[in-house]
Each structure stands twice: as structure tokens, then as C-alpha cells.
A and B are shown apart, each in its own frame.
Chain A
Amino acid sequence: MDNLGEAVQRVRSGDTAAFQRIVAATSSKLVRLGARMLGNVSDAEDVVQEAYVKAYRALISGEFDGRANVTTWLYRIVTNQAIDAMRGRARRPKPTDTADESATDLASAEQHLALAELSDWMSELPPDQRAALVLKAVEGLTSPEIAEILQCSEGAVEQRLVRARTALRRRSETQ
């Protein structure tokens, strides 16, 4: 159990304010993960907010027993939400301007440019392959960790990674 275990137990016993400690400790890395998958901070915040709501409901209802690592569990919820958002986005027409309003300074502008480039590079990949690739190559997680987050076997993770890399290689060759 990570050091958020105590906050989890307090939320489970009805202390809503204790959830703020979980949000404060995890929101930066979760929004970063979401932004790397979705290509912008605004969509990432929406996804992470919904993920927190789901997590809160699961804690209150006792669905999450607190034995697993809280951060890994939150990574799983955010990844699933991001995959759903990518699928939803694929069904809807792309907006003409996805620029983020928060890109006010130079460092922020560079970060948003990098997100846009990353998103464009992976745009042809199916959401599950894109998620696996971000978790592995950008977040630096191991295959067992990714398998736990995506709730599949390590073999399935490796298969998604091979397919994703092959698709990216083909794309580079055709350009």
C-alpha cells in the first residue's frame, strides 16, 4: 500500500475532505498522463476529474478495498477514461482549433507544442495501442505495471506495443 492508504481509509469512513489529500498528491501526474494520451491539458483535466468522481464513488461504496496501490488504481481509471474519450473523439469530427488557453508563457507553449506533436504522431493508432505506448515509452512503466493498469496479460501488452511501433514505423516510411 502506498502512503495514501490512510487518506483512503478516512474517505471510506465518510471523511470527504480526506479525498483532497489524494487529489493533491496525484493530480499532477494524472493530468500529465491524460495530456500525453489525449494531446491537450484541457481534455486531460476533464478526464481526470471524471476519474476522481469514479474513484470517490468506488471508495464510498467499498468497491475499492484499499489493499492495492492507490496510484496504480487511479492510473487505471484515468487510462480507461482516456481510452473512452479517444474512442468518442474518433466518432466525432475533429475541432478545427485544439489550442489550449493555458499556454501563456514560453515553457507552457513548448509543452503544448510537444503534446500536439506527440498526439499527431500517434493519431492513427487505436486507443488501446496508444495508451500502452504512452505508458511504456513516455511514462516509462514496466510491462507488468502496464498489464495491471490495462487489466490484461503481459503478452497482450507486448502485442499492442509491437503493433503500435510497427504502425508508427510504416507511417514514417510513407512520409
Chain B
Amino acid sequence: MSPEQDDANDMQARFSAFSARTAGISARPGFSDRVMARLQREPASGLLELRLPAWRLLPVGVLAAALALVWAASASSDVNEALAVGYDDVELQW
């Protein structure tokens, strides 16, 4: 066997030993709970939860917007009438 092959075999044997010595490593107790708690703080999931009620509220929102528009138009019309100048009452002066 060549010295290069010896080297390669030695190296692989050393890696195999590391693999065996570290085979028992796993996540510490509570890790899974920590991950799930972290996911609960994810803005993406919160956003998703907010979307469904938001869709349900959409028709109410549209109705409220329409009523607001009607009220604004009517209020604007009242103001215009109050401010309107009766042209027939104004005498032109030269």
C-alpha cells in the first residue's frame, strides 16, 4: 500500500472515530418547545391569522365607507347652500 493510501486510510479512520464519538449528540431537553415558542413569535404566522378576520370584515368596511361618502356629500351640499349668495338680491353697482 502506498504512503498516500495509508494517509487517506488514517484520515478516514480518524473521521470515523469522531463520527462514533459524537453519535450520541442530540438537541438538549426543551429544544423543540423553544423552537415552537420562537415560531409563535413569527410575524408571518400572525399576519396569516389576521388575514381571515380582515376578509370577514371587508363587507362591513365597504358599507361604512359608502355611508361615510353619502354623509360627506350631503354635508357638503348643506354647507354649499348656506354659503350660496342669492344673486337676485345683489344689486350691481357701477
Residues of A within 8 A of B (CB): 14, 16, 19-20, 23-24, 27-28, 30-32, 35-36, 41, 45, 48-49, 52-53, 56-57, 60-61, 102, 107, 110-111, 114-115, 117-118, 121, 133, 137-140, 165, 168-169
Say whether B42 faces chain A, with CB atoms less than 8 Å apart: yes
Which candidate, B14-22, B57-65, B69-77, B81-89, is the interface stretch facing chain A? B14-22
Q: State the main secondary structure of chain B at its contact with A.
A: helix
5 more A-B residue pairs beyond the given contacts A48-B35, A118-B22, A133-B15, with a C-beta to C-beta distance below 8 A: A23-B32, A30-B27, A45-B28, A57-B42, A169-B7
Q: Are A111 and B21 in contact (CB under 8 A)?
A: yes
Q: How far is the CA of A102 from the CA of B28 in the complex (A)?
A: 8
Q: Are B8 and A45 in contact (CB under 8 A)?
A: no
Q: Are B25 and A111 in contact (CB under 8 A)?
A: yes
Q: Could you list some 15 contacts between A and B, CB below 8 A?
A: A14-B48, A16-B40, A16-B45, A19-B36, A20-B32, A23-B32, A23-B35, A30-B27, A31-B25, A32-B23, A48-B27, A61-B44, A107-B24, A139-B19, A168-B11
Q: In angstroms, how far is the closest chain B Cβ from the Cβ of A43?
A: 13
Say whether B66 faces chain A, with CB atoms less than 8 Å apart: no
Q: Are A23 and B36 in contact (CB under 8 A)?
A: yes
Q: Are A16 and B28 in contact (CB under 8 A)?
A: no
Q: Are B31 and A45 in contact (CB under 8 A)?
A: yes
- Answer whether A138 and B42 are a contact pair too, CB < 8 Å, given A27-B31, A60-B48: no
Say whether B39 faces chain A, with CB atoms less than 8 Å apart: yes
Q: How far is the CA of A139 from the CA of B16 in the complex (A)?
A: 9
Q: Work out how many contacts link A and B, with CB atoms closer than 8 A.
A: 95
In the complex, which residues of chain A have a beta carbon less than 8 angstroms from the beta carbon of B26? 27-28, 31-32
Q: Are B27 and A27 in contact (CB under 8 A)?
A: yes
Q: Are A41 and B19 in contact (CB under 8 A)?
A: no
Q: Are A56 and B22 in contact (CB under 8 A)?
A: no
> Which B residue sits closest to A100, measured CB to CB?
B28
In the complex, which residues of chain A have a beta carbon less than 8 angstroms from the beta carbon of B56? none
Q: In angstroms, how far is the closest chain B Cβ from the Cβ of A26?
A: 10
Q: Are A53 and B18 in contact (CB under 8 A)?
A: no
Q: In angstroms, how far is the closest chain B Cβ from the Cβ of A113?
A: 8
In the complex, which residues of chain A have a beta carbon less than 8 angstroms from the beta carbon of B23? 32
Q: How far is the CA of A28 from the CA of B23 in the complex (A)?
A: 10
> Which B residue sits closest to A133, measured CB to CB?
B15
List of 10 A-B pairs having minimum Cβ-Cβ separation, nearest first: A114-B21, A137-B15, A28-B26, A31-B27, A27-B27, A32-B25, A138-B19, A118-B18, A23-B32, A52-B35
